[in-house]
Amino acid sequence: MVDIEYEIIKEEFVPIQKAKDILEKVEEKSYEQKLALEHVKKFAKMSTADANKLIKELESINMRKLKPEHVIKIVDLAPKSVDDLKIILMHADVPFKDEELQQIIEIVKKY
């Protein structure tokens, strides 16, 4: 077994669509990268362009409670109901009002 050292250059939350784009560009994929690519292909629910537009729109509603990791998870899962959204946000530090949740769902429905 070969030990490979990695250096983390940058960490950021990315939507599953961007992960798919990144993995598709890798020419010689490891076993783990092949599995990851198979997974993201199966679960990416929208195009990269739509995901980017949705991220920008969710960030523009100026809801300070909505952290970057929440935005990415919302884009990845594209919840169709407030109940689904509540599950995604259940570990948020601050509770969301029903009106805020409905506003998020209305934005997601456009994509």
Instruction: State residue 1's pLDDT score.
Output: 63
Instruction: State residue 87's pLDDT score.
Output: 95
Give pLDDT < 50 ranges for the chain: none
Instruction: State residue 36's pLDDT score.
Output: 96
Q: Which fold has domain 48-109?
A: DNA polymerase; domain 1 (1.10.150)
| 46-61 pLDDT, tens digit each | 999 999 999 999 999 8
d(CA 73, CA 66): 11
Instruction: State residue 50's pLDDT score.
Output: 96
Q: What is the largest CA-CA distance in the chain?
A: 54
CB proximity list for 88: less than 8 A, separation 6 or greater: 70, 73, 74, 77, 79
| pTM for the structure as a whole | 0.82
Dihedral sign computed on CA atoms, order 108, 47, 53, 71: positive
Instruction: State residue 63's pLDDT score.
Output: 73
Sequence spans of domains, the chain: 48-109
**Token pair recorded at residue 2:** 């070969």
